[in-house]
Structure 1
Amino acid sequence: MPGDKTLYESVKTNLGNEKTRCIGAIDIGTNSTHLLVASVATDLHTFSIDLAEKSSTRLGERDPDSGNLTAVAMERVFDALKRFKDLAFSHQVEDLIIVATSAVREAPNGREFVNRLQNELDLNVELVSGAEEARLIYLGVLSGMPFGDRPHLLVDIGGGSTEMVLADGRDAKALTSTRVGAVRLQRDFINNEPIPPERKEFLQTFIQGSLEPAATKIARRMKYGETPVMVATSGTAMAIGAIASEDANPSVLKLHGFKLTKDSLDKIISRLLVLNPEERKKLPSISDRRAEIIVPGALILQTIMEMMKVEEVVLSERALREGLVVDWMFRKGLLEDRFSLQGSIRQRTVLHQAQRFAVNSSRAQRVSSHALALYDDSRGVLHRDKGEGRDLLWAAAMLHACGQHINLSAYHKHSWYLIRHGELLGYSHSEHLMIAAIARYHRKSLPKKRHDAWQALGSKEQRKIVSEMALLLRLSVAVDRRPQPVVASIDVASEENKVTIKLIPEQSTQSLSLEQWSLSNCIPLVKSLTGVELKILLD
């Protein structure tokens, strides 16, 4: 359904209400300048990304003698900011927050460049310190990933610096910034490629020595026996993740939550080291500019994993720019504390998506209530899920009708598309695909091998969960056939090979014959899929 892209975009109709505020954030980095436009849902204390733009401005290519930002590089940034400013305000942002990181803060003429942007473009650019950059990265990652009770080690490999943060869901325990980055290493130490073995060894030693103070600080702040979850963000990590995911699972659409093993990283680095930049540019997973600097960036990540004795890293697509949005929300009183941000990421992101696509929330809540009642009271009969499917079922029930504004007769297919390509924070990539597939198969045809929704699922276990949860959702939707609620609740009684559903009316005088008929139509399907006899009773 690629041709329907503009149609899908047009159904995001309810973002301009009083409960939504629009904010823009720009990050002037060493390698690239990024723009992000976000819609902040003030009632849900969360936000979604409306626009993300990137320009490879290469500000880190400084004068080798003076260390100044070059006129050519500054002009690239200047032109990018002019475009980004127009784009941001075309989205009617109420604030545009702009920060500059290591390349500008270290350059002797960095302040002069910031003043020029203020005078000529009327843009207020804040020079952030390394520690402040690390803090903002922490807030950005925190906004999109549940930390639970475990400490997390956040790593952001930039062009000019690498930030390492030890944190949990409440606060950061250590914020570090080291002047070692992909662009800096490429510029200062790599003259010939493929990199000779002795140069690679030198780079690894240099990286380890540079990062030693940060690693020591983090180790001191960890409790004895703690093993933090390592999370990597930035273009380098995403590029490596893209290569790894292409090898392991080509159907991966988003890298947020993707797990990269140390073994996989080592193999990727071995492949990249024997290629020159032109050969790396032919790799479909990375851009031309990233191909030039990916080797030193990958070596930084590899060295950190070795120093911290970590065997797996989780990728986060949220970082500094999203942290600017979160920080703005704090300053505007839209978040009380960091823990409130973490409290219910999954629930809030699902509710936000339902709001974005104008889902009838009261009906969705009724369907989800019926679905969870069926799940809880038919365990071992209609399904044999061990617990994972319950939350996926709830999310799919809340979003199953999001495609109705596009095409009522085939809305389940459009719901699948919207959910799959939407943003569900706190869910892994596979869980995201499963939620979309549950919504896809809650009505009409059953899964077929040729369906994209079915092919995207990575294992038999995932398909089993989807099939069972989709059946429960199908029954739940069948209970709710009218705009106004008439079924107060359902009582589900299960025994071996038999499930009885009793419909309880909102009012004793109401007839539920329509709902009984609707559910009865599911009896043959339930029998054929599960072998279970389904009986429908009225109170």
Structure 2
Amino acid sequence: MEKIGIIDLGSNSARLVIVELFGDGHFMVVDELKESVRLGQDMERDGFLKPQRVAETIKTLKMFRKLCDASNVDRIIAVATAAVRRAKNQRSFLDEIQATCGIKVKVLSEEEEATLVYRGVINSMDIPKGIILEIGGGSTKIVYYNRRNMLNYVTLPFGAVTLTDLFKDDGLSPEQQAEKVEEFFTEQLKGIEWLSNIEPDVQMIGVGGSFRNIFKISKMVRKYPLDTVHNYNLPVEDFESIYDMIKVLDLDKKKKIKGLSTGRADILPAALAVVKSFVHYMHFENFTIGGSGLREGIMFNQAMPITMEKPISDILGYSLNSLVKYYECDEKHVEHVVNLSVQLFKQLRVLHKFPRQYLKILKVAATLHDCGNRIKFYNHQKHSCYMILNATLYGITHREIVLAAFVAGCHKKEDISAADWVKYKDIVQEEDLEAVRKLGVMLRIAESLDRSCVGCIKGINCDVLGDSVIMKTEVDGDASLEIRDAMTANAEFKKSFRKNLEIL
């Protein structure tokens, strides 16, 4: 077990994340701290980091150092991006940080920064062809990848802070300033030749603080029930409603918007104008917001150095394994329950007729069905449901997360609460409720068939005969406990599948 601190010194914010690396290439964020230092502010005039911004940054880094020391961090990885990269007083600034904070900061090149953003995305999102837009304080990155290979990138030398500074002194209204940013950014896009060669089925992915704020505002507007920013899909039409609402407001009114960080209220309109320009120029109708970027790219590199050569192939499997290890679940039992659940799904396909996507949902529920034991054994299925809804899960949609959580939540005798289900009515589909109940019964039987956690039932063969399902087990040893426990699901099985269950 190793604990590392990752410091990301951006043009707008300084962020610290503390990460536990717990073996076999897995990690978990255990703490974080963020301050808006505005390091890149007012740099456009002469290219120097301003004394007040430097002092604020040093003060923040001292706090970061204190938290790292208190948390027994083994080592600190600190990186700086656009503002420091361009600063004429870069050397003196870095020397002062080293002298006063004991932190050595690496200034990332444009290519290194784009590559880390790409690795954060490609190892956490199951999107085979994508174009990533990351709007920082002092630069904007566009990264194009196809078949999980990074093909092109560009770093434009302005971001939300610099664009706000650029257009704030023209005596323009807030709306006119936003429109000026749109026009300016569109002209920059016209100079990127490879953008015209992007394939039509490429999806847009937005990462970074501005996109996280877009999610928070959209969540409030839509009354969206999940707090998960990662893999949040937003139609451009809905984004434009948010943009049109915000771009006309003065700063005091912006600060009162629910979901909008007060530290970002003044620079968000410029970031939104960049998004508006980009989606129109590229003709996107929707985009996905990713919760992983540069810092996660560093995390993957540190936990799993192989990701510097090739990305993770099974993103969801990797993510689930991380949670199983972090929650200290019985790994052999988990693996066996997943295996038996898959067998049941395939053996009973003639009855349920579910498409393959439901097997993915069952696998997630089976992998994490016991994680609620970390809270309490009694009613642990309810805790498992909550934990799945709020876990860091990669390579899976929000709908799939909700369905997997409900499958885990009803794998005991309990039925699904109508009040709980209706909260997610805008995410799930009408036919999903029956599917969740059937998958829940399959999971319950699979768990029972490894009741003693020794793997004595190796396989299952199901025959559908008249009004019964005959389930024949392949046994190694005494499986009387397992079969007796599985038979207690007979009533739920009959209710869901309209068949009697017999287990031999």
TM interval, shorter chain, is over 0.9
1:523 matched residue in structure 2 = 490
With over 3 angstroms needed to count, the CA separation of the structure-2 counterparts of 1:238 and 1:531, relative to structure 1, is same
Q: Which residue of 1 aligns with 2:458?
A: 488
Does the Cα contact within 8 Å between 1:194 and 1:273 map onto a contact in 2? no
Q: Secondary structure at the match of 2:274?
A: helix
- Return the alpha-carbon distance in structure 2 between the equivalents of residues 483 and 239 of structure 1: 45
Equivalent runs, 1:489-508 vs 2, <5 Å:
489-495=459-465, 497-507=467-477
- Partner Cα distance (2:88, 2:308) in 1: 37
Correspondence for 2:375 among 386, 406, 409: 406
Query: In 1, distance between residues paired with 2:131 and 2:44?
Result: 34
Distance in 2 between residues matched to 1:279 and 1:470, nearest whole Å? 48
Quote the Cα distance in structure 2 between the aligned partners of 1:288 and 1:125.
28
Residue deviations 1:47-71 (CA, integer Å, cap 9, x gap): 3322232111111223675342222
How many Å separate the matches in 2 of 1:279 and 1:193?
17
Is the alpha carbon distance of 1:424 and 1:495 closer, same or farther for their aligned partners in structure 2, counting shifts above 3 Å?
Answer: farther
Judging changes above 3 Å, is the alpha-carbon distance between structure 1 residues 348 and 326 closer, same or farther for their aligned structure 2 residues? closer
- How many percent identity over aligned positions? 25
- Of 140, 146, 157, the match for 2:135: 157
- Supply the distance in 2 between the matched residues of 1:405 and 1:319 (Cα, whole angstroms): 29
Contact 2:341 2:442 in 1 (8 A): yes
Q: 1:182 aligns with which of 137, 143, 160?
A: 160
- The answer to whether 1:219 aligns with 2:196 is yes
**Candidates 75, 80, 84, aligned match of 1:95:** 75
List aligned pairs for 1:373-384, cutoff 5 A: 373-381=343-351, 383-384=352-353
Q: Tell me the equivalent position of 1:443.
A: 412
User: Does 1:349 find its partner at 2:345?
Assistant: no
| Deviation per residue, 1:202-245 (Å, 9 max, x gap) | 322211122333x323435x4xx543211110111121122223
Q: Which stretch of the first structure deviates more once superposed, 482-491 or 397-406?
A: 482-491
Partner Cα separation in structure 2 for residue 55 and residue 336 of structure 1: 29
- Stretches of 4+ moved more than 4 A in 1? 191-194
Asked if the contact 2:135–2:207 (Cα under 8 Å) also holds between the matched residues in 1, the reply is: yes
1:490-530, Cα deviation, whole Å (9 max, x unpaired)? 222235643211122213xx3x3333322222112222233
Q: Distance in 1 between matches of 2:172 and 2:372?
A: 51
- Aligned match for 1:195, one of 174, 191, 202: 174
1:15-69 per-residue CA deviation (whole Å, 9 max, x = no partner) reads x4xxxx33321111111111122233542x3433222321111112236753422
Structure 1 residue 118 corresponds to structure 2 residue 98: yes
- Find the aligned partners of 2:20 and 2:38 in 1 and give their Cα distance: 29
1:283 aligns with 2:227: no
Structure 2: state its 5+ residue gaps. Answer: none
Q: For 1:208, which of 174, 181, 186 is the aligned residue?
A: 186
Give the C-alpha shift of residue 380 in structure 1: 3.6
1:275–1:194 Cα change, 3 Å: farther
For residues 304-330 of structure 1, what are the alpha-carbon distances to aligned partners after superposition, in whole Å with 9 as ceiling and x for unaligned? 111222222111111111122233456
Separation of aligned partners in 1, 2:279 and 2:52: 36
Partner residue, 1:12: none
Asked if 2 retains the 8 angstrom alpha-carbon contact of 1:194 and 1:275, the reply is: no
Which residue of 275, 279, 285 corresponds with 1:305?
279
Conserved? CA contact 2:5–2:77, under 8 Å: yes
Equivalence for 1:4: none
Aligned to 1:513: 480
State the shift of 1:129 in Å.
Answer: 2.3
Consecutive unaligned residues of structure 1, counting only runs of 5 or more, are 1-15
- Asked if structure 1 preserves the Cα contact closer than 8 Å seen for 2:122 and 2:148, the reply is no
* Mapping of residues 379-390 of structure 1, within 5 Å: 379-381=349-351, 383-390=352-359
More deviation, 233-242/345-354: 233-242
Instruction: Please give the secondary structure, in 1, of the residue aligned with 2:229.
Output: coil
Q: Residue 337 of structure 1: CA displacement? A: 5.1
What is the aligned counterpart of 1:37 among 11, 15, 18?
Answer: 18
1:463 aligns with 2:440: no
Equivalent residue number for residue 115 of structure 2: 135
Alignment CA distance shift 1:434-1:91 (3 Å): farther
Over the aligned positions, Cα root-mean-square deviation in angstroms equals 2.2
In the alignment, structure 1 residue 168 sits paired with structure 2 residue 146: yes
Superposition TM-score, scaled by structure 1 size? 0.88
Say which SS state the counterpart of residue 344 (structure 2) adopts: helix
Q: Secondary structure at the match of 2:484?
A: helix
Please point out which of 24, 27, 36 is paired with 2:8. Answer: 27
Structure 1 residues 138 and 63, CA gap change in structure 2 (3 angstroms): closer
Q: How many pairs align? A: 501
Measured in 2, the distance between the counterparts of 1:37 and 1:361 equals 26
TM-score, scaled to structure 2: 0.93
The alpha-carbon distance between structure 1 residues 296 and 84, as it changes in their structure 2 partners (threshold 3 A), is same
Please give the secondary structure, in 2, of the residue aligned with 1:291. coil
Task: Say if 2:226 and 2:389, in contact at 8 Å, map to a contact too.
Answer: no
Check whether the contact 2:438–2:496 (CA below 8 A) recurs between aligned residues.
Answer: no
Structure 1: how far apart are the matches of 2:32 and 2:436?
32
Q: 1:65 to 1:455 in 2, by over 3 A?
A: closer
